[in-house]
Structure 1
């Protein structure tokens, strides 16, 4: 109990430090998201004054189009994780199986949704997150599978305030917290203590009808014994001791031993009152990955800027001058009537609404008929200022009409592509940060796979064309007359991330270029006919390719 009290105090102090460190960034992120996504672009005071005066208060929100451009570009050029063998105990065939397993994990988990949600949050608010979890493969088995999940609300995550990495690889602490109603808390944790709100002095953890439940992730450096066997196999001393008799019977002995530095990660589920759960995590990384926007370090503090933050003032100006134009047009339809004194006495009720309502006829007194005053001309200064503000939004973000698919002053296709490339380059740091974060996600997966997929079992792997195959791992099997084994528990693998069109897009492009080649050089048809058929998006294309090849 004393250990729990000590841990709880440590966690609350760490949570307070993390909140203080993230406070400015999270407030700016919240303001940016409300501004860009919810259209909260007028101050309450200005909106109230305009409502009272009956003046237009328009919000013509141009910012989501820029965010969608970056996010949808990531959809078309999805970063893909690739592993490579780096030591003598790893091999390219096993690396291919790990690549297929990672593709399957991403597909089953809808990882693209997790990645794109994090990127959209980074574009709108300056930061986003995705996370990696584990769960049982099926209801009736004990095998575990790895999953990639999105973090819908990035403001619920607090990373290590002492971190200096852009991908969270050096995090030693992290929090994921949420406020849940008291009734749900009692249902989820029936044995937990829920103190009376009036007796609680910590409003950071408990409110009248809600209680904060937080995941406290903690990583500490530990020492572990590593041994080398006579066949060159390297493993932890604990693993060898557990099966020492088996190894000795097989003739394997320890030839070298050393102490290595490693990390132990633990997840605690806590409230402000107690530790609800303690879960050991098998990996050496905290499985939460940040995706940041533009990073700016000033006087010891790090700020993360969204894509649209610097364009907010230009957006406000655009709203103001578009509202001024609308107001000018509306007032033009309400221009008053001008006439001599007494001209409106006979039909005063109708004349009182003549500038806002339509009447079949209007009677007047005297020989001179009233004249309607010409409405004021549209304020061209307001029109010009709105156009200027519109151009400033694009200039500040760095994405021009060609990047947004609109016609501009570029005439040739080459000029359009150059302007589009300028827009891609000006926002490329968002895509690059996503790639770095996905690479860290790949490291976490490669670190977890030997510990989660550590027993003989059948797994599904996916190829580049998303064709599935069941593969036996961690057990010898006969494949086409030769013994093979895909041992995922041994060897070291490095991770790289490549961004580019999907394999389907590449295949379609290859087919188009092959057809163009055959038009100019028909003699190549017998040589590449099967490859062309394989790349065509037809039912039975693979079968046609086989027949052409034979």
Structure 2
């Protein structure tokens, strides 16, 4: 068998590092790190990362709480108003603004593309890897994970998710890649020295996980809660790791520098010999000694994962496939001011405007609510005996209000105090606060779907795009994070899907196809290795990104575009009806498209089969109409062939006649020349007649012209039966330049062949 089969067997004998059983951990990691030293370094890094980002985290949590009911009033002001019985109402405009931006993100589904970037990469394999990435997202329900992170990114300025490897089931040895959520995306701590938006240049990362104390003790009985935290002051924030109810753990991802020994093989393959089998190392070294391979040592890194608490390393190290820390951040607006890095979402700057709006509307409500509660004014004698009725005058609807006439004021009666009048300033404050919210967030009424003074569809779309521009920074950062997720999965694929297996990949339209990965083709003969189909373990690939509408939206746009095209060019409808049917979203659209495709011309069907790698369909039997048309065409061709045969026979007769006439001309010319020569030889002739040369030249010219005519007539051939032959061009016209005699010669009339010229008969010229 070939080299690939040997490689598969070696991989089966040597499991991947993350798959090794605990008892084999020492064998799989011969240089196991000092866990105490790893933990001490991790705690120092945690303290530094925690302090560098503490202010951003605290303000991000406040932004999220601001959107919760009751969170838009400061605690002290709320307490004062509630103690005085004054309302604290909330009219949440920011929640709608956040929903508008996250709604745009939900509609713009990403499309991850994979392209080959070296000679060993393959276009078909790149499409397979892109399908694997979509398969990973589909099986993980990655869309829900992405959008949950966006729900933190937009209001608070940061969200996170991660990429993990896991077994496909509890009864298989094959691992799968998956996208996993990070519920508390704000609490992730990154290397403060990392500067890239994706943090791919970070050396470490922490994902804190707070567990219930009882659940922790069940899962880790060898590490009691009492030993965590306590009076440990070795690092800042140690007391946060253990409370009476919660114990904090942290996933610790770290990049460890390593020296990599790489070999460039004769076929261009780059092999990592760092931890390779001795057989592979010996083979590479032997080829390098012969000058057929190149071996070099490079600086690199490996990514490892640990699970730690405040005192110990609970799990690890686990080797992470690929070259990235598999944690993906998605940021809002991030700025660097000197040595300080700040982050915010859409809520941060709109808080004051929202508070002003809540205050003005609460005060307006309070004033209006007090109007029917204005007290009544009168003398004590007027209310005497009716105190209970007047005491409930503002809370009950009495049919009448009795009172006593006061002798001291016989004409007076109880009067209501004028109620408070609503202030126009409060209404103006409410309007200004509402406009301030729109101005700060950049989301106006038209962007939220409210009617405006625009009348045309283009004007409405242009107004909506103005709001999209103000929030595009969130969409752009979200796109960048999706692309980085694709890069992480792409770097994991050669390590996780490194054996021959069948995998379900997902197309851009969501359809699932079965694809065989790393499949040997044929047999190894004379030392030539087997060809590998869909070999994802070789070649270099990169991820490109396309962001736009979801596939269903693109499908609808395609359907509308094809309909418009058919209306503009109805004659093209039979050629695109199958594509139009496929672009529909109703049931069985694919079956309709397949049936219509069978009616396409054979050349188009063959082209479609070639593009899809399928066998071309057999030719369809002709219909009765087509058979009748073919028979009529065949009869027409037979008639044309008969006419051509008659024409050829006529042409042959003309050719024979021309040869006969030429022979007569030649004989007559010879006779005339002979007579002329005899006359020149008689006594008394002083010199040869110059007309003899003219006669010879004329006869030679005539012979040449006749030869050309015969040659042209001999090359005429009948055309092929189909298509119908073009009409034959007319025969070449005979030149007439020989009718004129040269100077000093006799005249010659070809139409009077066989009749001697006057000069030759002895008559004067």
Q: What range is the shorter-chain TM-score in?
A: over 0.9
- 1:427 aligns with 471
| Cα distance in 2 for residues equivalent to 1:266 and 1:483 | 34
For the residue of structure 1 that corresponds to 2:87, the secondary structure is: coil
| Residues 354-373 of structure 1 mapped to structure 2, 5 A cutoff | 354-366=393-405, 367=410, 368-373=412-417
- 1:123 aligns with 154
- 2:389 aligns with 350
**Residues 58 and 319, structure 1, Cα contact 8 Å, conserved in 2:** yes
**Residues 193 and 273, structure 1, Cα contact 8 Å, conserved in 2:** no
In structure 2, relative to structure 1, the CA distance for the partners of 1:386 and 1:260 (3 Å cut) is same
- Deviations, residues 91-137 of structure 1 (Å, cap 9, x unaligned): 11000000111001001111111211122211111111111111101
In structure 2, relative to structure 1, the CA distance for the partners of 1:342 and 1:48 (3 Å cut) is farther
CA positional deviation for 1:246? 10
| Cα distance in 2 for residues equivalent to 1:299 and 1:260 | 35
- 1:213 aligns with 249
Q: Given the two structures, how large is their TM-score scaled by the length of structure 1?
A: 0.94
CA positional deviation for 1:364? 0.8
- 2:109 aligns with 78
**Residues 122 and 293, structure 1, Cα contact 8 Å, conserved in 2:** yes
Q: 2:78 aligns with which of 28, 44, 47?
A: 47
In structure 2, relative to structure 1, the CA distance for the partners of 1:48 and 1:308 (3 Å cut) is same
**Residues 337 and 355, structure 1, Cα contact 8 Å, conserved in 2:** no
CA positional deviation for 1:138? 1.4
- 1:323 aligns with 362
- 2:534 aligns with 486
Q: Does 1:68 align with 2:99?
A: yes
In structure 2, relative to structure 1, the CA distance for the partners of 1:9 and 1:247 (3 Å cut) is closer
| Cα distance in 1 for residues equivalent to 2:572 and 2:159 | 50
CA positional deviation for 1:411? 3.0
Q: 2:44 aligns with which of 2, 8, 13?
A: 13
| Residues 267-282 of structure 1 mapped to structure 2, 5 A cutoff | 267-278=305-316, 279-282=318-321
For the residue of structure 2 that corresponds to 1:461, the secondary structure is: strand
| Cα distance in 2 for residues equivalent to 1:477 and 1:18 | 52
For the residue of structure 2 that corresponds to 1:369, the secondary structure is: coil
Q: 1:528 aligns with which of 559, 565, 576?
A: 576
**Residues 123 and 306, structure 1, Cα contact 8 Å, conserved in 2:** yes
| Cα distance in 1 for residues equivalent to 2:229 and 2:579 | 74
- 1:265 aligns with 303
CA positional deviation for 1:211? 2.2
Q: 1:390 aligns with which of 427, 434, 449?
A: 434
| Cα distance in 1 for residues equivalent to 2:224 and 2:417 | 75
> Which has the larger displacement, 446-455 or 468-477?
468-477
| Residues 366-515 of structure 1 mapped to structure 2, 5 A cutoff | 366=405, 367=410, 368-477=412-521, 485-515=533-563
**Residues 262 and 284, structure 1, Cα contact 8 Å, conserved in 2:** no
CA positional deviation for 1:283? 2.1
**Residues 511 and 535, structure 1, Cα contact 8 Å, conserved in 2:** yes
For the residue of structure 2 that corresponds to 1:403, the secondary structure is: helix
CA positional deviation for 1:376? 2.8
> Which has the larger displacement, 229-238 or 517-526?
517-526
**Residues 123 and 293, structure 1, Cα contact 8 Å, conserved in 2:** yes
| Cα distance in 2 for residues equivalent to 1:233 and 1:4 | 36
Judging by fraction of residues, say which structure has more helix.
Answer: 2
> Which has the larger displacement, 138-147 or 5-14?
5-14
Q: Does 1:153 align with 2:184?
A: yes
> Which has the larger displacement, 66-75 or 149-158?
149-158
**Residues 229 and 239, structure 2, Cα contact 8 Å, conserved in 1:** no
Q: Given the two structures, how large is their TM-score scaled by the length of structure 2?
A: 0.69
- 2:378 aligns with 339
| Cα distance in 1 for residues equivalent to 2:582 and 2:303 | 47
- 1:27 aligns with 58
CA positional deviation for 1:185? 1.2
**Residues 518 and 525, structure 1, Cα contact 8 Å, conserved in 2:** yes
- Deviations, residues 496-539 of structure 1 (Å, cap 9, x unaligned): 12110112211111112222333343222112111111111222
Q: Does 1:175 align with 2:206?
A: yes
| Cα distance in 2 for residues equivalent to 1:269 and 1:217 | 9
| Cα distance in 2 for residues equivalent to 1:52 and 1:241 | 77
Q: Does 1:290 align with 2:326?
A: no
CA-atom RMSD in angstroms: 2.3
| Residues 136-147 of structure 1 mapped to structure 2, 5 A cutoff | 136-147=167-178
Judging by fraction of residues, say which structure has more strand.
Answer: 1
Stretches of structure 1 lacking an aligned partner (at least 5 in a row): none
- Deviations, residues 278-300 of structure 1 (Å, cap 9, x unaligned): 12212221111111110111121
| Cα distance in 2 for residues equivalent to 1:198 and 1:173 | 23
In structure 2, relative to structure 1, the CA distance for the partners of 1:2 and 1:465 (3 Å cut) is closer
Stretches of structure 2 lacking an aligned partner (at least 5 in a row): 1-31, 233-237, 523-529, 599-765
| Residues 221-260 of structure 1 mapped to structure 2, 5 A cutoff | 221-238=257-274, 241-244=277-280, 255-260=293-298
| Cα distance in 2 for residues equivalent to 1:282 and 1:158 | 22
| Cα distance in 1 for residues equivalent to 2:489 and 2:299 | 20
CA positional deviation for 1:11? 1.2
- 1:307 aligns with 346
**Residues 212 and 246, structure 2, Cα contact 8 Å, conserved in 1:** yes
For the residue of structure 1 that corresponds to 2:575, the secondary structure is: helix
> Which has the larger displacement, 291-300 or 341-350?
341-350
| Cα distance in 2 for residues equivalent to 1:289 and 1:134 | 15
CA positional deviation for 1:245? 9.0
- Deviations, residues 349-379 of structure 1 (Å, cap 9, x unaligned): 2212212332233211115332323433322
